[in-house]
Amino acid sequence: MFVTINRIPVNPEFAAAFEARFQDRARAVDEAPGFVRNLVLRPADPATQPYLVQTFWESREAFEAWVQSPAFREGHARAGSLPREAFRGANELETFEVLSDSVRP
């Protein structure tokens, strides 16, 4: 499994607008081949911690195919809908291969 984590530092006064973007998202990724799951994590302290957007994929190749797709471009066309001052800095995208996983039986 392949996981991406996008760290997005949002100014607290724009938190509600930022969260609304994810509530109203296009959901195109949900139909992408190899897509498993998407989580948007609200920080405990929005003044000092970023929001985390995690996507889980069957493989790195599935993720890369999504990023190259027209659906990705369409789904991210709204990315600039919030003003620049909504963010405390640039987002950071991290990628990981799953080494170990456990779930409650």
Task: Please give the tally of structural domains in the chain.
Answer: 1
pLDDT in tens, 8-36: 999 999 999 999 987 776 677 888 999 99
Q: Which structural domain range is residue 19 located in?
A: 10-38
Do 88 and 75 meet the contact criterion of CB atoms below 8 Å apart?
no
Residue that has been written with the tokens 């991406």 in this structure? 4
Which candidate, 38, 32, 41, 27, places its Cα nearest to that of 63? 32
Q: Is 31 helix (H, G, I), strand (E, B) or coil?
A: helix
Is pLDDT above 70 for 88?
Answer: yes
Instruction: Indicate whether 46 belongs to any domain.
Output: no
Instruction: Indicate whether 95 belongs to any domain.
Output: no
Indicate the pTM of the whole model: 0.88
Instruction: Indicate whether 15 belongs to any domain.
Output: yes
> pLDDT class for 79, splitting at 50, 70, 90?
low
Distance from CA of residue 6 to its chain's centroid?
5
pLDDT in tens, 30-62: 889 999 999 999 999 989 999 999 999 999 999
Instruction: Indicate whether 103 belongs to any domain.
Output: no
